[in-house]
Structure 1
Amino acid sequence: MKKRIFLLGAGYSARAYARRQRGQAEAISGTTRSPEKFDALREDGIEPLIFDGTVSSEMADTLKRTTHLVLSAAPEAGAGDESHDPLLPHVDGRLRQAMPDLRWISYLSTVGVYGDHGGAWVDEGSECRPVSRRSVERLEAEKAWQRAAEREGLPLAVLRLAGIYGPGRNALASLAAGTARRIVKPGQIFNRIHVEDITGALSLLAEREMGGVFNLADGEPSPAEDVVTFAAELMGVEPPPEIPFDRAEMTPMARSFYGENKRVSNARIKEAGYAFAWPDYRTALTRMWAEDDWR
């Protein structure tokens, strides 16, 4: 039976997954809060639905036909249960009733659930000690969906995503827009993942209907300023000046990312059979620049 995919939160990564699945899935539906996005979603092969916390009859009918559920919407206050997940309060305890054809679930989480490990390597068995509220809520939502899936005997793949980049979201684009900065905090490491490796891993796990927790990060955790420097070299432009972290002007959210320092292992998803198409930022940016698909 062909997949009938439902994307809760048809954002950047979910839309890329839809483009990859177009022609392979029998149907792809996805939610948005904005009717203005309907045309763009349809261009990506997604039948758009409005979801603002209330499940419409049209959405309920679509869920009943869904075989593969991809959860890409962030937790939000007032969602109706302790996980703050926007969909779970509507289906918890009656997943089979709401989605009788459901065969597989994926929850798109964040490596932020690990919190700060002082730059050490972490894997899926490492202690989760999230710092930011958004990461605390992601971990709670992971656990809530794990409980719901276990009750129904359904496979759940939790994908903990590193910082996402790809077309339109990368150091090349930031340099071109004049917004790139090189903020230097000695010893600070960041992890990243190309959006097409998210869609590739999702496709593999969905095809095999495989559950488990998987980190999605490329093979070269590194300082953010190194990525900007390399991108500038590719473009043949001067990199922006280095700014010491303690003198950098940043939003509270941007600054919070510097409070978590770790190297994220991707060994488990490789063991599951996934081969990274974008294994490190150098390979990825070089290819994106050469193929002119970074904008």
Structure 2
Amino acid sequence: MASRTILIVGCGDIGSALGLQLQAQGYRVIGARRDSRSVPASFEAIQLDVGDNASVSALPDADVLVYAISADKFEESAYQSAYSQGLDNILSEFEQRPQPPRQVLFVSSTSVYAQSSGEVVDESSPTTPYRFSGQIMCQAEQRLINSPLPGSVVRLSGIYGPGRERLINQARDGYTVPQNPAVFTNRIHRDDAAGVLAFLIERYQQGDAVDDIYLASDDEPATLYEVMTWLAQRLDVTPSQQLDASARRRSNKRCSNARLKAQGYRFRYPSFREGYADVLENLK
């Protein structure tokens, strides 16, 4: 096994940002995804179908394994394939290898939380999701936590950043949401999502304790009204129509990043203001 080799399964937006950061630190980076042509040119690219045993068994050994796959559609079967079955296939392969990974990270999401009344949630909060997406994520999380391989689950909140500009486009088109009832949203910039993963890898490499679960969200849960009002002001748009925010109320909670902060991670974009200001600047 090559020294400081990282294998990123599902080397998409976040995986690529992570790989580029680690490559700059001297890591050998292997990116695996269904379409290997989309892997950054500086990585070693592998075409991978996590549902195909031959494809999985052909993966090379690595010191660090990051599972960052995205389901290709919002359907139960797609989630089962990507998260439950896919992760199980990968872990089952690497668990029986003579030189298994020394660290595994699974990129999960805050969909595992059912709380919807503005509660503060952290890594110890109950996870009793009522939608299939959260239920399948919970199954996948437990598969890693129960694995003999040393691993951590990283629950990302709503990811935004370059190429993830839906809210900006809605604000630009004059949309807002009702101020009341308040609906809290939680978000993390793409670069911080990758930064958290890199931080946990480096922490493990240095011999520091790494927990089973991390909640990765920025410092400031904010109401959707506050975010959209701020965007409208920055875009010099007067909101003229309202979006239906009822679907958003199902995820009305406030995510605490206290564990990550206590262990030393500092957010590049501590709130939506810094993050969206950067995105808007780059859109000019």
TM-score using structure 1 length? 0.81
Q: 2:40 aligns to what SS in structure 1?
A: helix
**Structure 2 partner of 1:146:** 145
Query: Cα offset for 1:99?
Result: 6.6
**Structure 2 partner of 1:71:** 67
**Structure 1 partner of 2:192:** 197
* 8 Å Cα contact 1:214-1:269 kept in structure 2: yes
2:176 to 172, 176, 182: 182
Q: 2:200 aligns to what SS in structure 1?
A: helix
**Structure 2 partner of 1:237:** 237
Question: How many angstroms apart in 2 are the aligned matches of 1:99 and 1:168?
Answer: 40
- What are the equivalent positions in structure 2 for 1:1-295 lying under 5 Å apart? 2-34=3-35, 38-43=36-41, 45-56=43-54, 59-63=56-60, 65-74=61-70, 77=77, 84-89=84-89, 91-92=91-92, 95-98=94-97, 100-148=99-147, 152=148, 154-170=149-165, 173-175=168-170, 178=173, 181-184=175-178, 186-209=181-204, 210-245=210-245, 255=247, 257-289=248-280, 292-294=281-283
**Structure 2 partner of 1:251:** none
CA offset digits 1:121-175 (Å, max 9, x no partner):
1111111121211011001110011111xxx2x3212111100001121367525
Q: 1:107 aligns to what SS in structure 2?
A: strand
In structure 1, list runs of 5 or more residues that go unmatched.
247-254
Q: 2:238 aligns to what SS in structure 1?
A: coil
In structure 2, relative to structure 1, the CA distance for the partners of 1:99 and 1:111 (3 Å cut) is: farther
Q: 2:188 aligns to what SS in structure 1?
A: strand
What amino acid does structure 1 have at the position aligned with 2:40?
A: R
Of 275-284 and 97-106, deviating more is 97-106
In structure 2, list runs of 5 or more residues that go unmatched.
205-209
Question: How many angstroms apart in 2 are the aligned matches of 1:80 and 1:189?
Answer: 28
Question: How many angstroms apart in 1 are the aligned matches of 2:172 and 2:30?
Answer: 33
CA offset digits 1:71-128 (Å, max 9, x no partner):
11257638999x7231313543x63433714110101111111112410111111111
Question: How many angstroms apart in 2 are the aligned matches of 1:5 and 1:136?
Answer: 28
Question: How many angstroms apart in 2 are the aligned matches of 1:272 and 1:294?
Answer: 34
Q: CA RMSD in A?
A: 2.8
Q: 1:100 aligns to what SS in structure 2?
A: coil
**Structure 1 partner of 2:207:** none
In structure 2, relative to structure 1, the CA distance for the partners of 1:288 and 1:125 (3 Å cut) is: same
In structure 2, relative to structure 1, the CA distance for the partners of 1:99 and 1:199 (3 Å cut) is: farther
* 8 Å Cα contact 1:164-1:193 kept in structure 2: yes
CA offset digits 1:37-71 (Å, max 9, x no partner):
x33313363513231511335x53433x2111111
Q: 2:215 aligns to what SS in structure 1?
A: strand
TM-score using structure 2 length? 0.83
Question: How many angstroms apart in 2 are the aligned matches of 1:99 and 1:237?
Answer: 60
Question: How many angstroms apart in 1 are the aligned matches of 2:161 and 2:221?
Answer: 17
In structure 2, relative to structure 1, the CA distance for the partners of 1:234 and 1:48 (3 Å cut) is: farther
* 8 Å Cα contact 2:116-2:249 kept in structure 1: no
Q: 1:24 aligns to what SS in structure 2?
A: coil
Q: May I ask how many residue pairs the two structures share in their alignment?
A: 272
Question: How many angstroms apart in 1 are the aligned matches of 2:267 and 2:256?
Answer: 13
Query: Cα offset for 1:287?
Result: 3.3
Q: 1:17 aligns to what SS in structure 2?
A: helix
CA offset digits 1:17-38 (Å, max 9, x no partner):
122222334422233223xxx3
